Every structure is written in C-alpha cells, then in structure tokens.
Structure 1
Amino acid sequence: MSDATAEQIREELSTWLDENWDPDLTVRDWWFRLAADGWAHPALPEAAGGRGYGGAQMAAVNATMADARVLGPPVGLGYMLAAPTIAMHGTQEQVDRLVVPILDGTVGWCQLFSEPGAGSDLAGLQARAVRDGDEWIVTGQKVWTSGGQVADKGMLIARTDPEQPKHQGITYFAIDIDQPGIEVRPLREMTGDALFNEVFLDEARVSNDDVIGGIGNGWAVANTTLAVERASLGGGGKQPVSVSGGPKAGRLENRSGDLVDRAPRGPDGSGGRGITIGALTDLAKHRGVLGDPVVRQAMIRLHILGEVNRWNMLRAKAGAGRTGGEGNLAKLAMSELVRQSREVGNLVNGADGMLDRSDSSSGGIVQEMTLFSPAPSIYGGTDQVQRNIIGERVLGLAKEPGPAKGTPFQDLPQN
C-alpha cells in the first residue's frame, strides 16, 4: 500500500498530465500511456500495473483527472471487477497476460455468474465444466450479463465437481467469448435499452491455464469479485469522463479529446448519467417549484443521502479486503438513492415526468430513471441478500436454515 498523500498524488498526476495529455491522441494511444506509467488503475498493486493506492488516494486521482478534463482509463467490468480479482488470486503469468490488456483498453470483459435458477442463490449454479486434457468443456446458460455483446473475455464460474457441497466444487475461469460454443443474446429492458444479455454455452472451451485461483476454489474467488462489485456499485466521488474498453466497443481509434468534449457533465464537473442534484435544481427552476418547501426538503434529503453514501463508499474502498460490510451498506444506500431520485424527479416534474426524451422538458431523464429505478435493488445482489450478508457476516446473527453444508450438490433438490 502506498503512503503517498492526496496532495502529493494530485501534484504528481497534474504534472504528468501536463506532460502527457494530448487530445489529438487516439483513445488506444492515450490508454497505453496511462497504463505504461501506472495511472490506468492505480488501486492495483504495482506487480499488476498499479500503484497500490487506497480509497482516499483513488479519490484524489479521479478528481484530478476530472478537473483536468482528460479522458479517464477504460471503464467496464474488466477494469472494475476482473483486474482486481485476477491481481488478488491469479498467478503473475495470468496478471501479465490478462490484466495488462484490461488496463490499456484492448480487451473488454463481461461477468458470467448469474443463471436463470441461480441469482440470489448464486452457489446453486448449474453450468458444468468437464476436464478434457489441458482444457475444460463448459455447458450451461448465464443471464443478466452486462456488456456481453461487446466483450472479448468473460469471468465465468462453473461447477467442476458436483460431488462436492454446493459452495465447493466451483471453479473460476477467464473464458474467450468469441468461439463457436458461445452465443450472446441481448435482453430488451422496459427502458428500451438492451444493456443485459443471456449467454448460452454449448461445449465452449477454456484452457486450464485460465483457471483463476485454483480448481475448486471458485467460490472464494467469486466472493472477491462480488465484494468489489458491491463497493463499486455504491458510487460516489468525482469521476473523469471515459468509455468502455475493447475493440467491439468501437472507441479505440477515436480522438480522445472528442470524447471528452461530447460527454455530459455533472454539476461537479465530472462525467455522469442520471438525475443529479444540479439537474434537479435546474429542472425545479424551469418548472417554477424551487421555492416550494416540500420540494426543497426532498432535494435536501436526497443530497444528504448522496453525500453519506459517497463517503461510505470511499470508506469501503479504503478498507478493501476487510469484511466490515461497508460495500454492502453502500450497495443498499445506492438502491435507496436511485429510488429517492425517482421520487424527487417526479415531484419536481409532475405529469411531465411520464414523457420520453424530446417530448419532455427534462429530456426524458425522469421517465428513464422511473423505469430504471427497480434495477439497482436486484443486480449485484438484491437488497435482501445484502441485508442477509450484513446480518450473518457482520452482526453474527444465525444463518437462515438450509440444506446441510456437507450434502453433495448432486444430491440437493433441483428446480
């Protein structure tokens, strides 16, 4: 862990950006520069291409990049989940081979965890991987796969030994998506978007060299991924503008400066989507309700919740590796924040909140948030799952009754 102060980081990074940022660079070339000097993912250990920064240090990095209006490192599940997981559980050869292309944005990733019958009860997954020499043959179905249509590789968990109890006999793989045995089908949501996919694996193949963390140890590795995901989904802090990595996303040859110039800006100067307090304030002025005490009180409550969640998220990232439940609390708070944003948006916008995009004075953001708002309570682990984790692992409450821990998975009742 680095002992650099936030002020030292801001000074060093500002100097580096002055010397290296060029808006005329392609996205590919700019990301290569960031990765080469350890600025693509400074939270990773130095052996994985990072700088060993903690939560407060990363906040300084992100704020400095946002203030400088430069393109940030590649976003996506590879950056957010795969890189930290492989850095923690992978071999150095796997780190060099798999993490570096994430940092320079040349490979995009997706997460192949949830299944039609294994969502909240993820350990009940049915996807099977059978050893075939130096490879594994995988058959099964995954669902709610974000970015699957633009991914080159996937974080896959599959059952490799059904004779072991449910939480054992699971192995974590880094699998190639572009192969004959994998089909990705988009899922259309009620927002009209298709962010998620279902993925069918029909005798897909993955090398034994791409087993992360050892055969049969996949549940422990997957829990690292899930812990990082919950903390990341909590949100918080100023962020630079960026785009997804990987060739399928179609950004690598774009001019970096164009992406920064075209990106929407939040009230704090960072990139972002959704309903911000700044956007709600502007909307309330436009609708003539900013002086309404009910509206003002609702906006203040929303702002307070957002700030509390932002600081809690930073605390979670600063304590990465501990099991204090901060990431679970941040995930719960984020779900509530989205719900309150929906309520305040509709309070401010009235009936206009039902209108879409060009028909609405808000550009449709209230309607989009209203339709999207149930999602955060489901993805990344439902609110009920988060509360169970906090109760059992943090507060030490008794676990819910279930099948005997020692029962082989193949002997458990199946859906």
Structure 2
Amino acid sequence: MNKSTISDELFLRAQQSIPGGVNSPVRAFRAVGGHPRFMVSAKGPFMYDEDGNRYIDLINSWGPMILGHAAEIVQEAIMQAIPNSLSFGAPTRKEVEIAELIIDMVPSIEKVRMVNSGTEATMSAIRVARGYTGRDKIIKFEGCYHGHGDSFLIAAGSGAVTLGVPDSPGVTKGVALDTLTAPYNDLEAVKTLVEANKNQVAAIILEPVVGNMGLVIPQQGFLQDLRDLCDREGIVLIFDEVMTGFRLAPGGAQELFGITPDMSTLGKIIGGGMPVGAYGGKKEIMDFVAPAGPVYQAGTLSGNPIAMSAGMAMLTYLRNHPEVYTNLEATTARMVSGMQENMQKLGLNYTINRVGSMFSIFFTQQPVVDFASAQTSDTALFGRYFNSMLQKGVYLAPSQYETLFVSTAITDDLVDQYLQANYEALQEVHNS
C-alpha cells in the first residue's frame, strides 16, 4: 500500500493545534507505533484515507455502524430532517417517538433521557442513582471504561477493600474515595466491598459484556449474582450498554443474557453514528430526574433533531429486521473460526473472545476473564500484528485492549480477504 505521506503531514500539523494531534487518545496510534491514518470517506465495509488507501473496517466508529458506513436508510432520514433546522432547543415529536421505541426494545427501560454522549449518559446515571438511594459510593470493575467522568477514572488498590486512587491528574482524592473497584467476574470481591461499606453503596456499574479491556465475557451466573446482591442490599444495578446496546440483540446484552438491570446507559447506535447517548431505567428511579424530580441534568443539544432522525431510522430497521443479528452472528463466527484455524496451522495458541458481532484476539495463551488476565497479552506483538494488518488493508482497533465490531456490510468474500490477511500477518510477526 502507499505510504501515508498526507496522513503524516496532517498528523504533524494537527499536533500544533490539537493536544497530541487527536481528539480521542486511542486514535494517536501510540499503543501500536506509527502515525494515525487520516480518513476522508467511508462507505459500506470500507474506509478511505487521505492517501487513497482503502481499508476493510472492523472498528465501525467503535460500534454504531452496524449496517456499515453511510447506510442509505440513515442518510435518507438525515437529509429529510436537515431542511427543518439543525437544532431547536425545544421539544420535538422525534424525541417522543425514539423514547417510545427505546422503551419498547430495551427490557430495563421504562423512562429514558437523551443526552449527547456515552460519557454524559454514565455520569448522569451515577448521579441519579446517588440521588435515588441517598448514598455516595459506587462500585466499578477494573478495566471497564465508562467514559471520562471523574468517578470512573479510578484504578484499583492492592486489596478488594482498598479505596480507589485517581488514575488521572485532575481527579480529586475526594471523588476517588467514593469509587470502589473490583476485578471483573469476581463476585466475592464485590460482596467484600459491599459488606465493608454497608448501606453506603448507591450503584454497581459494569459493562455486561466488556469492550474496553478487549472483549471479556461475563462468566456463568455472574450477572445474575450481581442482580441478586443488588436486590438484597438496595443497590442500583447499572448496565453500561453504550457498546452492546442494540448490537448484541435488539434489547442489548440484557436481552441476550436475560438479566434486567435497574438502569441502562446507551449510545452510539442510537444516533446511527451521530453524537448521542441516553440513560434510562425504572420509572421510580427516572422520576428523580429534573424537572420531575430533584436530580439535575440538562443539555442544550440533547434530543438533537438530526441525531434523533438518524436514530429512529437505525433502531426501526433493527427492530423490524431480526435477520440482521442472525447474519452478524454467522459472519463473525466464521471470522473467528477461520482465525483459530490459521493459528492451528501456524502452531500458535492465542485467546479469542467473542459474543455476537464483537470479538478480540489476545496475544496470550491463558483465558482472558478480567483485566489482570488481559494484561498478560504481548502488546508489542499486537502492535506488529496491527501494523501488518493495516498494510494489508484491514483497519483494526489500534490497541490490544479494544474490541472489534463487524457490520452487515462484511460479505463472504471480505471474510476470505480478512482471513488471508490474518494468516499472513500472524506468519510475518512470528517470523520477524
């Protein structure tokens, strides 16, 4: 492929005006080396960079492009909405219609509030849970990323009862004291935290399928045990389904696993790729949100009419076409099965985790069930693998600790191309 000289120039230029040259850190390619590719367009399964290179895209804007890039049904909805104005700062019919649609599709949601990002959704959900319970502390899991809100940028201490410490400058120790952390899939650690902080925990928040330490699957009974614990202790259980919502099933991971949280946070797919988020849950909890209740949250662009139109088109299509999920399951299963065959041919033994149309390869031979086991991966090897795949025209997440997302635009021929690139890349990095 051509050297990305224009991308290189743009990256150098960007660093003069944008911190690190990017508007979201993982895009900087620091974890894998080299400079990021600057994209100029995308359609269906492909993205095109400033140098004219074409890539099979397995990030899909970190999940929302479930129908591929520039899906016609979404584009048409946006084009119809644009002439009516880009923003009103006043209620619209579309806000009501998409709220009703979300409530119809997501098992846990009886009322929903639209916001502008997944981070805004998780920050708001925690505030509401605290207001509803009258408690201050939350429990999150190591390696689960819930956006860049202060409460979530906390690393675990050495013991299960150890109070969190800030993981980023600018996060105060006071905030850290109210955030407790436990290893994912470790129920006993959660129970210990709850017992040590009796009647102080407002919420437990987690990704029901983790997408931010690579893909990590909840072990059998883990989600149900958390549900039971929260019921006993009066704790609000929050599923962060910003990635999994509407992707793993029409009702998200909670539908797939049959576990209903008290609150859910959503994003990405709701806007068909446009900036959007939402949080919702039980009526009695959501009625604590202003102006119905005392917990304040607001946003001038919340419920933006263009984003709502895109989201309505996307969600309506997914609800009315269940074959989307059948096809995604089959395509992704074929990709992962082919990767496993490639590794067998080459005598390699790495770990691949998959749920539905989300998967990750970990360059470690041990099972990956939490952040500690994910960190046994050979990140330098992943970096070489990533760059080899990039040179072969496959665009992966530029970090070992991210998840790949498959779209319905990936055809059987593209699966074959991906698997050939995968075989050659694995062979290259192990022979280098």
- Superposition TM-score, scaled by structure 1 size: 0.26
Higher relative contact order (CA 8 A, sep 6+): 2
Q: Which structure features the higher share of helix residues? A: 1
